[in-house]
């Protein structure tokens, strides 16, 4: 089984953020492996451990993303590809999918695994875009993966129930973090990761001229969400609080 896992470096949403004149000011030192991609890496490793094969991670971004790639290697991925961008522009899902599709054009694999969405933008688009561009059968929002002879069996969370889908190889799947708890790299894993192969690829070698990438969507600014004010807080005897709040819900808020 050859797995490619597409991983993205994203800002840590738990870090404090500020908006100044519509621009987002965030701590660029707090970049992490997208949580959904971490689950995709974990699941690929579990399947490799059970059935053999190889797990290769791919990330598109400026040089800084190599830190995130190392993290995936430290978790246990065998090798990595870094597709280098200048980092001058933030691209949309479609642009990343276009770049990834070019990379995969001449590759052989059984499964391409993505996160179901980027944790910072919640776009959730690049995975199925890539599948369509590569003409692969796919399933999104996977909460479980299994191998059944030559099929990848995906349990995906649908609107009401869970759908069990059999996919032939090659195929693409996007992973939810409900799938597993990604392992924390061990010290040994971290040491080993430094010696694992990481190939750097320039966009030009994929036939892409970065200056000609023109995303159809762009972020023009950021703003605070109209906030909620904390309301009334009750402390004291349970019976009393229960009575007070039930009454307020009925008479003040009118929601009972």
Partner 1 sequence: MSTLLTHIAISDGKIKRSSLEVLSHCKQLAENNGHAAEAVIIDADASNYVDQVKSYGAEKIYTMEDPIFKNHMNTPLLKAFAKVMEEANPHVFAFASTESTKDILGALAANQDAAVLSDVSEFDLIDGGISAKRPVMAAKILSSTEAHDDQILVSVRSGSYDLVENETDAEVVNIDFSFDESELQATLREIIGASGDKIDLSEAETIVAAGRGAKDEEGQNLINELADVLGAGIGASRALTEAGIMDPSLQIGQTGKVVSPQLYIAIGISGAIQHVAGMANSKVIVAINKDPDAPIFEIADYGIVGDLYKVLPPFIEELKKIRN
Ligand X SMILES: Nc1ncnc2c1ncn2[C@@H]1O[C@H](COP(=O)(O)O)[C@@H](O)[C@H]1O
Q: Is 177 in the site for ligand FAD (CB under 6 A)?
A: yes
Q: Which one of ligand X, partner 1, ligand FAD, none interacts with residue 8, CB within 5 to 8 A by kind?
A: ligand X
Q: Which of 34, 39, 68, 177 binds ligand X (CB under 6 A)?
A: 34
Long-range contacts of 65-71 (CB under 8 A, 24+ apart): 65/9, 66/198, 67/9, 67/31, 68/7, 68/8, 68/9, 68/31, 68/32, 68/33, 69/7, 69/198, 70/193, 70/194, 70/198, 71/33, 71/185, 71/193
Tokens encoding 68? 């995130």
Q: Tell me whether residue 4 or residue 76 sits nearer to ligand X (CB atom).
A: 4
Q: Tell me whether residue 35 or residue 213 sits nearer to ligand FAD (CB atom).
A: 35
Q: Tell me whether residue 120 or residue 163 sits nearer to ligand FAD (CB atom).
A: 120
Q: Tell me whether residue 175 or residue 208 sits nearer to ligand FAD (CB atom).
A: 175
For the CA atoms of the chain, what is the radius of gyration? 22
Exposure string over 189-207, b if 16+ CB within 10 A, otherwise e: beeebeebebeebebeeee
Q: Is 117 in the site for ligand X (CB under 6 A)?
A: yes
Q: Is 143 in the site for ligand FAD (CB under 6 A)?
A: no
What x/- string results for residues 91 through 110 when contact with ligand X is judged by CB under 6 A?
A: --x--x--------------
Total residues contacting ligand X by CB under 6 A comes to: 22
Q: Is 66 in the site for ligand X (CB under 6 A)?
A: no
Residues 163-182 that bind ligand X (CB under 6 A): none
Q: Report the 10 Å Cβ neighbour count for 216.
A: 7
Give the binding site for ligand X (CB under 6 A): 6-8, 34, 36-37, 58-61, 93, 96, 114-115, 117-118, 121, 123-127
């Amino acid at each position: 089984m050859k797995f490619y896992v597409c991983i993205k470096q994203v800002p840590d949403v738990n870090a404090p953020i500020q908006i100044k004149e519509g621009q987002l000011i965030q701590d660029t030192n707090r970049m992490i492996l997208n949580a959904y991609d971490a689950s995709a890496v974990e699941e690929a490793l579990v399947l490799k451990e059970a059935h053999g094969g190889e797990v290769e991670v791919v990330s598109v971004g400026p040089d800084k993303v190599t830190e995130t790639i190392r993290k995936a290697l430290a978790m246990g991925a065998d090798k990595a590809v870094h597709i280098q961008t200048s980092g001058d522009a933030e691209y949309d899902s479609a642009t990343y999918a276009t770049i990834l599709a070019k990379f995969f054009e001449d590759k052989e694999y059984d499964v391409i695994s993505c996160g179901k969405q980027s944790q910072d933008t919640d776009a959730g688009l690049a995975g199925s875009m890539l599948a369509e561009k590569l003409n692969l059968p796919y399933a999104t929002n996977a909460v479980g993966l299994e191998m059944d002879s030559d099929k990848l069996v995906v349990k995906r969370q649908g609107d009401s129930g869970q759908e069990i889908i059999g996919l032939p190889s090659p195929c693409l799947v996007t992973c939810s973090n409900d799938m597993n708890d990604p392992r924390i790299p061990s010290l040994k894993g971290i040491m080993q990761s430094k010696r694992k192969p990481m190939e750097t690829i320039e966009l030009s070698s994929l036939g892409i001229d970065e200056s000609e990438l023109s995303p159809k969507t762009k972020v023009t600014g950021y703003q605070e969400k109209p906030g909620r004010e904390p309301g009334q807080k009750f402390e004291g005897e349970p019976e009393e609080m229960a009575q007070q709040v039930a009454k307020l819900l009925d008479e003040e808020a009118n929601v009972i």
